[in-house]
Structure 1
Amino acid sequence: MSAPRTVRTVLGDIPPAELGTCDAHDHVFIRSPQLPGQELDSADAAARELAAFGAAGGQSVIQWTPYGMGRRAGRLPALARSTGIRIVAATGLHQAAHYTPELLDELRGEGLTDVFIRELTAGIGDSGVRAGLIKVAGGFHGLDAHARWTMRSAAEAHHATGAPITVHLELGTGALDVLDLLCGELDVPPERVVLGHLNRSPDLLIHHQAAQAGAYLAFDGPSRAHHATDWRMPDAVRALAEAGFGDRLLLGGDTTTAGARSVNGGPGMPHLLRGVRPRLELAVGQELVERILTVNPGRAFGVRWGVS
């Protein structure tokens, strides 16, 4: 008998069904030189934001913050306990622009695959928190040498652990290039890959091809109201659902700046359930949206750990 699938939260592994209503891509903590002065580094603000998400009906958050970007993994268990929100932490590496050259050289020397495997199996630093996914990133309409290095390391870590791989697509582009590399060249099963930010490039043909390949498609970041493509997201979801890919879809908020948090006057995590959900229900119906928020995340992030 094969081992059951579980989701690796910061408080331990749980059955996928226990995720409940899930924000499939967000950030409890994050910092980057690309976003100066907008760091998410306050534990108090994080607690209030998670509580607001819970008050809106949320039950779990998948944090995509990778290595070296202020994850504050040691803070996550206490936040999960105090707010009742299940949290999944990430290992992985973002685009090179988010790091110093010295840190990247250090990781090359240490071995990036080994870092990922250690954080998935032993824990992040001395926090005791094990990561539940590997987050990597592509470039704008292509994959540079850094992206290929991180994705190759992510694939190796996946094969060693079974962990899912989530991918930041720059402005929603490069999805097929990512799948060609991860699933074609590197033999990662497509159902273990989550493609993020597809709402930012509403190319319905690319969406269809990515879903047909077997990957999960995350429409994550609708809280950023300045994106002119936001209003097209329900149409993209409806087109995928009508093509039979409703089981491949995920939704997230991707709150990356302090100003975007609901506790600071922005839409924040609650917007996913208070704003996006009712709008999508008008487009594709309440039943499908419920499945996208509950069943699909459990399938995407539920893993038979140690089995690729």
Structure 2
Amino acid sequence: MIRTVLGDIEPARFGVCNAHDHLFLRSPRFPGEALDDVDAALAELNSFAALGGQAMVQWTPWGLGARLADLPELSERSGVHLVAATGMHQTKHYDPTELASVRDDLAELFVHELTAAPVRAGFIKMASAFHHIDEHASTVMSAAAHAHHATGAPIGVHLEGGTAALAVLDELAGTHGVPPQHIILGHLNRFPDSTIHRHIAAAGAFVGFEGPSRANHGTDWRLLDSIAALVESGHADRILLGGDTVLASARSTADGPGMVYLLRTLRSSIERELGSDVATAIFITNPANAFSARWHD
């Protein structure tokens, strides 16, 4: 089942999915750019739905203004299935006092948000550091793995600049025993090394690409090449694609590309260059598989 904010659903009902995005997000790293407007979030979802979008996964974890209580109504009003995240991002996105208040109880926090919160999360997010797993990432990873084993929830990883992917995969799958099919490694388009992408896919984990990139992550021109390389090596079933809208100015309602870019631009490019079967895998089949779990609450 896939755990949405309105309850668990069969994967076959999930539909066309934006596998990595944000309706709400607040971070000191983005002053003046908080995603905190319910009406703007609804407009973005409605625009996505008008192009055939049926599901969206919000990667905003604990403590970053995810506004979980608002998600069920937004899902009902837009008709878009929403999956929320628990977990924790890098320390730079938090107030140190806020972090200290939960550091000793992370696993319990994640399990609670997955199984007992008024609006339940459907996966766990963590983040590595640039080219390595720092102490904070290691702590959160251990808690995420514990929560996975307690609940069955998938784990999604923010890879800083797309780096440290193999180290994270080895740590999660090897040291912590998380099955690779329940691991999603995000932002790999920011480190467009097809050899690494193939290794991740061959291991059974999901390869997350997000686009359009912000200016400082200018790898969109490599996106189709990276997707094509995985398809040609037989791994079309491991690819996920999301919009990753993290700034208010990046929304389509604010003259940014927004969520609609995925379906208005990228989907047609993928269909034209790689075929409709690949597009169906990326936008429908793969997200349904990546975010489904045998939940044990």
1:173 maps to amino acid:
T
Whether 1:119 aligns to 2:113 is: yes
CA shift at 1:226, angstroms? 5.7
Structure 1: give runs of 5+ residues left out of the alignment: 1-5
1:65-76 correspondence runs (5 A): 65-76=60-71
User: Structure 2 matches for 1:1-308, cutoff 5 A?
Assistant: 6-109=1-104, 111-123=105-117, 128-224=118-214, 227-306=217-296
Q: Please give the per-residue CA displacement for 1:30-59, whole angstroms capped at 9, x wherever unaligned.
A: 110000100000001001010011111101
Q: CA deviation at 1:8?
A: 0.3
**Deviation by residue 1:101-149 (Cα, 9 ceiling, x = unmatched):** 111111124x1000000000001xxxx1000000000111111000000
* Whole-angstrom distance in 2 between the partners of 1:130 and 1:201: 32
State the one-letter code of the partner of 1:144. Answer: D
Question: Where does structure 2 lack aligned partners over 5 or more consecutive residues?
Answer: none
Q: TM-score, normalised by structure 2?
A: 0.98
**Cα offset, 1:223, TM superposition:** 4.9
TM-score, normalization by structure 1: 0.94
Shift in Å, 1:278? 1.3
SS at match of 1:218: strand
SS of the residue 1:130 aligns to: coil
Give the Cα separation in 2 of the matches to 1:223 and 1:96.
23
Are the counterparts in 2 of residues 122 and 130 from structure 1 also a CA contact under 8 Å? yes
Judged with a 3 Å threshold, the aligned counterparts in structure 2 of structure 1 residues 283 and 273 are, in CA distance, closer, same or farther, namely: same
In structure 2, the partner of 1:3 is none
Secondary structure of 2:264 counterpart = helix
Q: Distance in 1 between matches of 2:260 and 2:12?
A: 21
Q: Contact 1:223 / 1:272 at 8 angstroms: preserved in 2? A: no
Report the AA paired with residue 303 of structure 1: A
User: Identity over the aligned pairs, expressed in percent?
Assistant: 54
Q: Deviations over 1:150-183 (max 9, x none)?
A: 0110000000000000000001111001011100
TM-superposition CA deviations, 1:187-228 (whole Å, max 9, x none):
000000000001111011111111111100111132536633
Q: Cα RMSD over matched residues? A: 1.1
